[in-house]
Structure 1
Amino acid sequence: MPADRIEVFAPDGIGEVVEGTDLAALVAPYLADGDVVVVTSKVVSKAEGRVRVGDRDQAVLDETVRVVARRGPTRIVESRIGVVLAAAGVDASNVAPGSIVLLPEDPDASARRIRADLAARDGINVAVVVSDTAGRAWRHGQTDLAIGLAGMLPFESFEGRTDAYGNPLAVTAPAVADEVAGIAEVATGKLGHRPVTVVRGLSDRVLAPGEHGPGARALVRETGTDMFGLGSREAVVAALSGRDQDAFGAPATADDLARALTECGLPASPGDGRVTVAAQPDDLRIAVLAFAHAWRVVDDSGDSATVLVPLS
């Protein structure tokens, strides 16, 4: 159920966080049972000793699993924790010159640890969100989202329900943890030196003590299920080079592949689980489009036709 009223505040006086800082002790004075506490990833990283002295570019490379898109010096990458962020979340702000801050090794584990420590030392049951800043496809600017979570479900699924007009809801699933992280950032601000936010009024969403939920990792789309798993330029390079097959996802339908082939000047017809193309199999366009749609050439039916089937 939606909350009737939400109170959001970012306390002053948190002070500098260094390696070994007890984050639970730091935030406990501001919390009450049923609160949601949002802690920026930077202070979690500082407390966990994730500050390094060295080259930021090399750190980005070390923390990168896969480059999703690149435009000049800007790199959008999949980081080692599975989240897609600019520069793998490596940050050189609000830290001593020459130093960089890496993301926490396991933000969900960090959130669980803070939550458990608060329960043990103060007997309070709260939810914990570890937040970080990210851009969004199609939109300017950035917002905060949840990269770590404990004590609250990351999203609320409305699948199978109906709206007030009786229309069925199929894919509506608000990312509650990201929404909480975003509203917390409004309270903290980027230059306010207030890295902790308390969100009060969501106690009905806080899970029972010891029940942490699936964490923020559940919000990350699996490789191949994201329709934008590669940048537009990078998708062309991947298809031509035969690289990053997984990023293109499961095999497209025969109709979709036939349509794509036809749009590229290769008349094609679907039927009986395969697609027949009115072109020779050595036409590079066939190989590239088949790869991008997770299909493959099985044989040719003569000099002027090629047969494609889905990848198994």
Structure 2
Amino acid sequence: MIEIVGLDAIGEVGEGADLAALLADALRAKHIELRDGDVLVVTQKIVSKAEGRMIALDAVLPDAAAQELAATTRKDPRLVALVQAESSAIVRAVPHVLITRHNTGHVMANAGIDQSNLGPDRDGYALLLPQDPDASAARLHEALGVAIVISDSFGRPWRYGVVNVAIGAAGLPALIDRRGEQDRDGRVLEVTQVALADAVASAAGLATGEGAEGVPAALVRGVHWTAPNNPAAAIVRPPHEDLFR
């Protein structure tokens, strides 16, 4: 049985916070003792806050390229300049839409830069993704001794709405390759790969929410696997395999 428990006793996270200690305290507040099959899903926002990824927009000086792209997308030139700095490629730029390939390889809106739920007195700021989400997950995994997924909200082509996916993972197989196995009828699986970390992140999103819920992490209990561990980077399809460009 899969169980999802939201961790709401964390509070506002500031730069330099000991995130592992905050998460451990939140688990104790719920009287949770970690066991096999547990995965702790931590939202990107509190990881970025703890790692000092908050930027004051007034400190950003957009260049001519940022100004031009901002005119196309009708976005704040300062925000666009940050998006460019965090991205390896622009995938789509039209009014009110800016899709890029983040430096980590993830294709996402605005390079994952967010301005919501930043905390009091943070108007005029923007929050960047962790520089290396898999490394961030590995540090939490080492400190807490539990599988870690760092989640973020992604939109999807051809479908409305956002879902949580894994941008960082440690202590579990983010991607499980089942090619070569057989289904119940004896047919050999030829293309099946399971994005386990994405599935766990999406499940946790039922508890963490997308607005003012104030639940920045969740424990997903009852997840089991036998495949070797790999990071969230394993899920990212490389540009030469892009099926739609």
Give the TM-score taking structure 1 as reference length: 0.66
1:224 is paired with a residue whose SS is: helix
Residue 52 of structure 2 corresponds to which residue in structure 1?
49
Q: Percent identity?
A: 43
* Cα separation, 2, equivalents of 1:161 and 1:117: 35
Could you tell which deviates more after superposition, 102-111 or 17-26?
A: 17-26
Deviation at 1:76, TM superposition (A): 0.8
Return the match for 1:221 from 217, 237, 240.
237
Which consecutive residues of structure 1, in runs of 5 or more, have no partner in the other structure?
119-124, 231-312
2:176 is paired with a residue whose SS is: coil
Residue 197 of structure 1 corresponds to which residue in structure 2?
218
Residue 280 of structure 1 corresponds to which residue in structure 2?
none
Q: How does 1:24-43 map to 2 (within 5 A)?
A: 24-29=20-25, 30=27, 31-34=33-36, 35-43=38-46
Residue 72 of structure 2 corresponds to which residue in structure 1?
none
Which consecutive residues of structure 2, in runs of 5 or more, have no partner in the other structure?
28-32, 58-77
Matching residue's letter, 1:126: V
Which deviations, in whole Å up to 9, do the C-alpha atoms of 1:159-217 show, x marking residues without a partner?
Answer: 11111112221011111100000010111111211101001112x3389xxx9x33100
Mapped pair 1:162 → 2:188: no
Q: RCO higher in 1 or 2 (8 Å CA, sep ≥ 6)?
A: 2
Residue 94 of structure 2 corresponds to which residue in structure 1?
71
Residue 139 of structure 2 corresponds to which residue in structure 1?
113
Contact 1:151 1:206 in 2 (8 A): no
Which deviations, in whole Å up to 9, do the C-alpha atoms of 1:200-254 show, x marking residues without a partner?
Answer: 112x3389xxx9x3310010011111202x3xxxxxxxxxxxxxxxxxxxxxxxx
Deviation at 1:15, TM superposition (A): 0.3
Contact 2:207 2:218 in 1 (8 A): yes
Deviation at 1:33, TM superposition (A): 2.8
Give the TM-score taking structure 2 as reference length: 0.83
- Does the C-alpha gap of structure 1 residues 33 and 206 become closer, same or farther in structure 2, counting only changes over 3 Å? farther
Mapped pair 1:97 → 2:123: yes
- Does the C-alpha gap of structure 1 residues 175 and 21 become closer, same or farther in structure 2, counting only changes over 3 Å? same
Task: Select the structure of larger CA radius of gyration.
Answer: 1
Contact 1:134 1:145 in 2 (8 A): yes
1:65 is paired with a residue whose SS is: strand
Q: How does 1:176-215 map to 2 (within 5 A)?
A: 176-190=196-210, 191-202=212-223, 204-205=224-225, 213-215=229-231
**Aligned CA-pair RMSD:** 1.6
Query: How many equivalent pairs are there?
Result: 214
Deviation at 1:44, TM superposition (A): 0.2
Residue 128 of structure 1 corresponds to which residue in structure 2?
148
Matching residue's letter, 1:74: V
Contact 2:104 2:132 in 1 (8 A): yes
